[in-house]
Amino acid sequence: MDKTFRINVDGVDHAITADPAMPLLYALRNELGKKGPRFGCGLAQCGACTVIQDGVAIRSCVVPISAVRGKVRTLDGLGSIDNPHPVQQAFITEEAGQCEYCMSGWIMTSVALLEQNPDRSDAEIRAALAGLKCRCGTHMSILRAVKRAADEMASTETTGRRDD
């Protein structure tokens, strides 16, 4: 039986009427028109559907709409063309990825990691990105981008110039 759920996505409150078991991903894409989180596996095995819930990167393909709490951020709401998130800017500068279908996984996971603490070693970054898939094999450019973003975020944090 469908029920109505109130969720906050990218700073906006929404009422979603759906089967309580329906994963959040389908609400984001079909009800709210989000493009960033994508269906990759429906099994939490690839990360293409990743969003951030209260600071934690989660797989929206396996989280039932009824279990969504707090504030959800998607790739769509992360930054704007004029003011991209530092992680987005780094991915653009490095031209990280190819098809970019998987990008919610890499970017949102990196955002959650670096917003907590941008001072991360290469090993920490690789560990945090475990489980994410990129079939185009663009891991070198992704890792360069995450390191670039980490450096940028660490320096703005130190100098207090961060404006987002």
Q: Which residues bind another protein (CB under 8 A)?
A: 18-19, 22-23, 26, 29-30, 34-36, 38-43, 45-46, 48, 74-76, 78-81, 84, 88, 91-92, 95-104, 107, 125-127, 129-143
Rounded to the nearest 5 degrees, what angle is found at the Cα of 147, between the Cα atoms of 143 and 148?
115
| Cβ distance to another protein smaller for residue 123 or 158 | 123
Rounded Cα–Cα distance for residues 7 and 9 (Å): 6
Closest contact distance (angstroms) between CB of 160 and another protein is: 26
Closest contact distance (angstroms) between CB of 159 and another protein is: 25
Backbone dihedral region for residue 117 (phi beyond 0: left; psi -120 to 50: alpha; all else: beta)? beta
Rounded Cα–Cα distance for residues 9 and 110 (Å): 19
Closest contact distance (angstroms) between CB of 93 and another protein is: 9
